[in-house]
Structure 1
Amino acid sequence: MAEIRTTRPDATGVPPSPFAIQARLAELYRERCAAAFQGCLDATLAANSAWAAALKPVTPAQSLGDAATYWADFAQRSLLFWDTLRRRGNDWLAHEAAGKPPLLAFPWEIVADARGYERPANYALARILPPDGVAIDADKRPYIIIDPRAGHGPGIGGFKPESEVGVALSAGHPVYVVIFFPEPVPGQTLADVAQAEAAFLRLVAERHPTRGRPVIVGNCQGGWAAMLVGALDPEHAGPLVINGAPMSYWAGNDAENPMRYAGGLLGGSWPALLASDLGGGVFDGAHLVENFESLNPANTHFGKAYGLFSKIDTEPARFLEFERWWGGYYLMNRQEIAWIVDNLFVGNRLAAGRAEWEEGKAFDLRAIRSPIILFASLGDTITPPQQAFNWVADLYPTTADLKANGQVIVGLMHESVGHLGIFVSGSVARREHAQIVDLLDYIEHLPPGLYGMKVEETGNGSGPAYDVVLRELEVEDLQRLQKYARKDEVPFEAVRRVSELNAAAYETFVHPVVSAWVPRETGAALRALHPLRMRRWALSDINPALAALAPWADLARSHRVRRDEAGFWAATERRSAAGITAAWDFYRQMRDASAENLFYATYASLSTVLPRTEEPAAATEGTAALREAMARIDEGGFTDAAVRACLLMARLGPKERRLSTFKRIRELVGRDVGLLALSASDAARVVRRQAAIVEHAPDAAMASLPDLVRKAEERRRLLDVVDRLGNRLGLGPEQRALLPRFRDLLGLAPAGIPVESGVPRQKAG
């Protein structure tokens, strides 16, 4: 919020007055309330206008006929609606009885089970069996997809044929999915889980010794799990694709991301500890799902049900399919949820390098050497873009620091899709995920840097086709996502300290009592009575009140009466639904405004009196890798020279790079340059080294180019590569001006006069 700018000392070094903070908070709260009321009024007026526009003069007979058909349709829809809920309950019971297997749309087999590991965990590695008509290319790198364990079960990455699993299979890649079981292994920790996933990574790499290391795709909570694996075992991890994953938990904007205040309003991590103790030492994932549902009460309490009711002839299949996954609640150990809340949700320690997996051993995200693709959406209220991207600036304070570390990070932003749509939307799979898979074949050849990715449609009438545009950005550009330059995150440090105090008090005075009184069996009984579970088993065939519903629903289904969609009663129903939705949205906005106001009123003032911890010093640009690259500027071979020449030309070109251009370059000179003959990691090292040289010393890089190709035959090959690119790609004037410089520098006249390989030359610089 804007007032949090004043929670740090001003230019005079004097912190703001708590009274000034409270006055500004009150002003903003009034603005939020007025905006909520105006939004509700506008929605209501729009609904009334639509209703009035739908009215038309009718005769009494037409009016009577409209009422008769509407109410007959209403009665039938009601029967079919409750029958669908009954079927949902039956599906839930059957899924529970089957052990809640992963809901994948593809056949699969388990190839490794971590429950038998030295450090056991309730995780397993499953290989996706390609369906008929899909051929796997043995030369293509494998994919490992890690789904979120955040209340639900695995399978969201392969929930539909058009999914992350589907697009990777269609491209010919072997695909593996990390699954997990409903019950955790007693005593397992997040460190055990991360170690198990790292073991899965090594196993997949052994099974597929391809040119590229395995791609790791992480969804939501599985995203930061994938980052942990990449940090634990950077030698085996290939590119990381992180979809809708919260990494900077304090980030967000006021009036947009209410979930980030929950930890502070609840007093920190102690409620998670209490919930675990009441569960007999086990944390129920249904609590997390309930938190997600509370974000949008209009949809949870009305919209989802009305969507089913209003489209009862077409919606049940999709509704039941999704509800099978949404209603599969998984468990965590007390130690696991405590680590997650303390280190991530409240502590925000991951990007700072303070999240320890063992005493004295912290996850170091700077150890990740593989390219990273971040996919987020402006319509995501669970993982807002700020939480998905801000960790980059925490880890690499400047663009120069990111490049010096040799890191490639690509950010993709969707304009509107919600959190679950990032993983399950068929249109997102066809467009964004398919282009991500395409880009991953080229991503190791990108010079280090931060890139914004955009998917452009290039169809010519024969069907949609897409091209990827990459625009180089500065780390400092991430500030555009923030309203207040991240100064609104200052009070969250106070939340962390309060949480530590409350958790210590809970562990000392409450935990011994509750854990002694609530055995594991009592926890299981309490879980069965959780409202999210009750609404499923209570509306199923075990409820005798619904025993006769099925035949009546079948009768209604076979004798459907269709209402007049343009009639008075149908228009009135739509008006009523819009009014109910507007009322729920008004409640949500008022609730969120009040919660946000309470949060900052408490913690913004508190942060002015607590001593501030020193912020970590920014990392320096001069890394060992950069110094080594500059020291060996005149060393290398033909591939180094070709890569350097291409980078020198690209440096003078537009900031935008197209995937279609990468494909054209590979088609023209890919085999001749030599990168394709190297492993993907070795090719990336060549590109990183030459990119560092060109970035920091372009003139010396050009002058020392002849040292890399001393033989006349190599120089001819290099000039041939450069000429082919110059003649067949649309180069700019500055880029074309380099072509004669290359020829002059390499000592070849236009006719190709031989160069004596043994003639010494003075080195540049």
Structure 2
Amino acid sequence: MVKPPGQTDNPAISHAFSYSVDAWQRSIVFLDTMRKRAAQYEEHAAQLAPHVLDYEAELICDGRQLERPVNYMLASIVAPDGVAIDHLKRPFIVVDPRAGHGPGIGGFKADSEIGVAMKAGHPCYFIGFLPDPMPGQTIEDIARAEAVFLEKVIARHPGAEGKPCVIGNCQAGWAVMILASLRPELFGPIIVAGTPLSYWAGVKGQFPMRYSGGLLGGSWLTALAGDLGAGIFDGASLVQNFENQNPANTLWSKQYNLYSKIDTEAERYLGFEKWWGGHVTLNAEEMQFIVDELFVGNKLAAGEIRTSAGTTIDLRNIRSPIVVFCSKGDNITPPQQALGWILDLYDSVDDIRAYGQTIVYAVHETVGHLGIFVSAGVARKEHDEFASNIDLIDVLPPGLYEAILEPKGDTAANPELVTGSWVMRCEARSLDDIRALGGNDLEDERRFATAARLSEINLALYRTMAQPVVQALVAPPLAETLRNLHPLRLSYEMFGARNPFMAWVEDAAESVRERRQPVERDNPFLAFQEQVSEQIVEGLEMWRRGIEKLSEQSFHAIYGTPALQSALGIEGKAGRPPRKAAASLLHGKLLEARIAELRASMTTGGLREGLARALIYVGLARNGVDERGFEAIRRMRKAHAATQQLTLPQFKTLIREQYFMLLIDEEAALAALPGLLPTQEDERRAAFAVLREVLEAPGPLTEAAAERLGRVAPFFGTSGEPIPFAGKRKAPGRQAG
């Protein structure tokens, strides 16, 4: 009897045959997926306003119609069926980065920043952009346009309990921060995700992308690229820079993952590639500003950027809470770059408080740069918690906090006060916690300052000696041809319909899918394939590590040379300390006046002020705030009609004033507390019951908190009642936490 092909008594031959059939079929379907990728790329590029939003959107404002036209637009997101929007809640505005890709990644699936915000009942808006810039538009023009967008959103929600929460992803984050420093009155809480605000910062031996500007001689190459584009900078080059940071994924893993899982991976792959390949362009002037002022110059955190009107952009002017979300697994914007600006601006947490700022940071352990704002898991956890607890973040007393997320589980205290699957608490931190993440020393700062100075010189030389020639030689048609020949664009188009080799692929793939014969998972040839892939990845990773080490050593050797530093006017070893934003004498005078005003107001107020003061005093012993305590307050406001008159902004002002009074003079603030409480004993006892309910919402009090509650209890007429706490009581005479 003749056996079917591949079926023999020899297992090795049988395994080899079945693997070869599977490998051939996977190759055909892989080619067909690449064909679909090319067709999708061409279709996407042909659209007037390409995006990858998974939601219906209504255009609200077209930036091209503004006095200073820009290619940005404001759209309202239409809530899908089954999602209820509460228009009394503050709106969310998601701003996507114009970093080479098209817009929409903040809402390209249900588990996204837009998706979780709408799930929490917030109206959502999206600020996107067209592929090509308006002639002459600048970064400052875009900031003006986004201010107009925020004004329109605020006008559409006059009854909302707070100004819009604005999310800035990657490079959109620093643009949002710049606008918030210029127009602080427009903003509610700000969330910056994966945003490089302090580009020089980092740790030796890790993620040396920050050295690239210096190793290339500064920003003159940016000017050259803009001139070769006839005044247009190709965003595909920015995307290529991202890809160069992970050659193993770019050159192998991404394609191999598709090939090895071709039966299940194609749809996800095509969905991501639709965004990844949606290349956009920038005006050369825009890109030059980004590189000179932010990347090579690192001027934002130092307050060294000025508008065309001469206004200094000082991030200390921001009055809204700032949430910084970053990851240790991010090789584009590591935590040092996301958080280093805090060390540049402030000397201590008291300095942060003096400016009335609230900064909350969250550090993910593993997720990569794109995962910060595209990962479904991150959206369901971090972004969901930020959206659900945005009002809590808004009313936090000024200071520095870390957002800690823990599973709710079955053992969490008062689980009915938790809105999602995670419990968020904001724990107070110091600047030493930021420094503990690592950063530059004085020598590193001088090296980067030397690179920035050399960049200025090289750029001036290029503009004087070479730029006129390049601009004269490169006409717009030539620039367009050069853009079309970019390697990333060719990687899409080579599999497109214009390639005659691909004509047979679609029919062949259809035939293969009808006769698909996947190989068994225990096939030894499949295991060998996986081993080869792992070796290729390891080889590319070794290459990456070697290049990164060489880059770091070269940067340190070149820009650490005392002779070069001296020649460029960079101070020597006894020179100035690391970069700091200039102190403001006016701010100091205003702060003194505000302190005097608060001292005079310590005896002013009533039950609300007294409860808030007692709540903050006891809560300070916990060194943080838990979402359950705020939810308890929220439910009390809804349950008692009299308290509903206090709006969220008024509640925020109340909390901040009482907090500052305790910081200024704790003893005087406590001494004035009895005068704020009702004279009736039953009213005081009822107020104390409310105080305990809020304080115990996150769980039993710590010993230090219980002792503080015991200190204020006599003011409420309950001095004889014992205050329970978690843990064992300390021995007499020992200082409480």
| Same topology, TM > 0.5 | yes
User: In the alignment, residue 292 of structure 2 is paired with which amino acid?
Assistant: D
Confirm or deny that 1:611 pairs with 2:570: yes
Instruction: Name the counterpart of 2:16.
Output: 67
Rounded to whole Å, the distance in 1 between the matches of 2:10 and 2:154 is 74
Matched, 1:458 2:408: yes
Counterpart-to-counterpart distance in 2, 1:497 and 1:631:
50
Give the equivalent residue in structure 1 for 2:515: 559
Matched, 1:424 2:383: no
The equivalences for 1:585-596 within 5 A come to 585-596=541-552
1:116 to 47, 56, 65: 65
| C-alpha RMSD of matched pairs (Å) | 2.6
Q: Which moved more, 1:366-375 or 1:741-750?
A: 741-750
For residues 67 and 481 of structure 1, the distance between their equivalents in structure 2, rounded to whole angstroms, comes to 51
Aligned to 2:530: 574
Q: In structure 2, what is the Cα distance between the partners aligned to 1:413 and 1:710?
A: 44
The aligned residue for residue 74 of structure 2 is 125
Give the direction of change, closer, same or farther, for the CA distance of 1:725–1:137 in structure 2 (3 Å limit). Answer: closer
Match of 1:698 in 2: 666
Amino acid at match of 1:553: A
2: CA distance between counterparts of 1:534 and 1:732?
A: 63
Structure with larger RCO (C-alpha < 8 A, sep 6+): 1
Equivalences for 1:713-728 in 2 at 5 Å? 718-722=687-691, 724-725=693-694
Kindly state the Cα deviation for residue 418 of structure 1 after the two structures are TM-superposed.
0.5
Deviations 1:508-561 (A, max 9, x none): 111111112212222111111111001111211121111111101111111112
Aligned position for 2:432: 476
Residues 234-383 of structure 1 correspond to what in structure 2 (within 5 A)? 234-383=184-333
* 1:453-479 CA distance string (max 9 Å, x none): 121112349998211122110022211
Bigger Cα displacement from structure 2, 458-467 vs 213-222: 458-467
Q: Please give the per-residue CA displacement for 1:419-448, whole angstroms capped at 9, x wherever unaligned.
A: 111111111111111011112021222111
Structure 1 residues 727 and 305 mapped into 2: Cα distance closer, same or farther (>3 Å)? closer
Using a 3 Å threshold, how does the CA distance of structure 1 residues 739 and 386 change in structure 2: closer, same or farther?
Answer: closer
Matches within 5 A, 1:71-150: 71-150=20-99
Matched letter for residue 430 of structure 1: R
User: Which stretch of the first structure deviates more once superposed, 613-622 or 213-222?
Assistant: 613-622
Which segment drifts farther, 702-711 or 550-559?
Answer: 702-711
Deviations 1:286-314 (A, max 9, x none): 01001100011111111111111111111
Hey, what's the Cα distance between the residues in 1 that align with 2:430 and 2:345?
14
Distance 1:113 1:593 in 2: 46
Work out the CA distance in 1 between the residues paired with 2:154 and 2:198: 30
The whole-number CA distance in structure 2 between the counterparts of 1:556 and 1:208 is 55
Which residue number corresponds to residue 514 of structure 1?
Answer: 470
> Distance in 1 between the 2:478 and 2:644 partners?
60
* 2:492 alignment counterpart: 536
After superposition, the Cα gap between the structure-2 partners of 1:464 and 1:80, relative to the gap in structure 1 and judged at 3 Å, is farther
Give the secondary-structure state (helix, strand or coil) at the position aligned to 1:313: helix
Do the aligned residues in 1 keep the contact of 2:629 with 2:696 (CA within 8 Å)? Answer: no
Aligned to 1:654: 622
SS in 1 for 2:10: helix
Does the CA contact (< 8 Å) of 1:248 and 1:387 recur in 2? yes
Cα deviation for residue 231 of structure 1 reads 1.3
3-state DSSP of counterpart to 1:253: coil
The alignment partner of 2:425 has SS state of: strand
Q: Distance in 2 between matches of 1:557 and 1:347?
A: 54
SS at match of 2:456: helix
Superposed, 1:223-242 pairs within 5 Å as 223-242=173-192
Instruction: Quote the offset at 1:507 in angstroms.
Output: 1.3
Contact 1:722–1:739 (8 Å) recurs in 2? no
The amino acid across from 1:290 in the alignment is Q
Match of 2:111 in 1: 162
After TM superposition, give the deviation of residue 483 of structure 1 in Å.
Answer: 5.5
Note the alpha carbon deviations across 1:219-254, whole angstroms, 9 max, x for none.
Answer: 001111111221121112000011111100001112
1:633 alignment partner in structure 2: 602
1:637 to partner: Cα distance = 3.7
Q: Is the 8 A contact 1:472 1:656 kept in 2?
A: yes
Task: Tell me, yes or no, if the aligned pair for 1:105 and 1:161 is still in contact at 8 Å.
Answer: yes
- Work out whether residues 198 and 338 of structure 2, in 8 Å CA contact, stay in contact via their aligned partners in 1: yes
8 Å contact 1:244–1:376 — kept in the other structure? Answer: yes
Cα distance in 2 for partners of 1:110, 1:479 equals: 44
Give, in angstroms, the shift of residue 698 of structure 1.
Answer: 1.1
- CA-to-aligned-CA distance 1:330-363 (integer Å, 9 cap, x gap): 1111111111111100111111111122142221
State yes or no: 1:731 paired with 2:681: no
* 1:523 aligned partner: 479
1:189 to 113, 118, 138: 138
CA displacement, residues 722-752 of structure 1 (integer Å, 9 cap, x when unaligned): 354467762334434445644544689989x
1:144-176: per-residue Cα shift (whole Å, max 9, x none)?
Answer: 000000000110100111100000111111000
Give the equivalent residue in structure 1 for 2:3: none
Structure 2 spans left out of the alignment, 5+ residues: 1-6, 722-737
Map of 1:548 onto structure 2: 504
Check whether the contact 1:457–1:464 (CA below 8 A) recurs between aligned residues. no
- Alpha carbons of structure 1 residues 726 and 324: separation in structure 2 relative to 1, 3 Å: closer
In 1: Cα distance, 2:331 partner to 2:399 partner:
28
Contact between 1:444 and 1:683, CA under 8 Å: does it hold in 2?
no
Cα distance in 2 between the residues matched to 1:486 and 1:103: 44
TM-superposed deviation, 1:627: 4.2
Deviation string for 1:672-695 (max 9, x for gaps)?
698863443333222222111112
Contact 1:86 1:546 in 2 (8 A): yes
Residue 706 of structure 1, CA deviation: 3.4
Question: Which stretch has the larger CA shift, 98-107 or 371-380?
Answer: 98-107
Q: Judging changes above 3 Å, is the alpha-carbon distance between structure 1 residues 87 and 723 closer, same or farther for their aligned structure 2 residues?
A: closer
The Cα shift of 1:616 comes to 4.0
Cα distance in structure 2, aligned partners of 1:166 and 1:667: 25
Amino acid at match of 1:351: A
SS in 1 for 2:544: helix
Contact 1:127–1:175 (CA under 8 A) maintained in structure 2: yes
Distance of 1:100 and 1:734 partners within structure 2: 58
Between the aligned partners of 1:428 and 1:381, the Cα distance in structure 2 is 17
Task: Give, in whole Å, the separation in 2 of the partners of 1:664 and 1:486.
Answer: 48
> Does the C-alpha gap of structure 1 residues 214 and 674 become closer, same or farther in structure 2, counting only changes over 3 Å?
farther
User: Contact between 1:248 and 1:388, CA under 8 Å: does it hold in 2?
Assistant: yes
Q: Is the 8 A contact 1:668 1:725 kept in 2?
A: no
Change (3 A) 1:256 1:676: farther
**d(CA) in 2 for partners of 1:731, 1:672:** 25
TM-score for the superposition, normalised by structure 1: 0.86
SS class of match (1:109):
strand
TM-score (norm 2): 0.89
Answer yes or no: is the 8 Å Cα contact 1:676–1:683 preserved in 2: no
- Flag the 1:738–1:298 CA change in 2: closer, same or farther, 3 A: closer
* CA deviation after TM superposition for structure 1 residue 490, in Å: 2.8
Counterparts of 2:693 and 2:551, CA distance in 1: 62
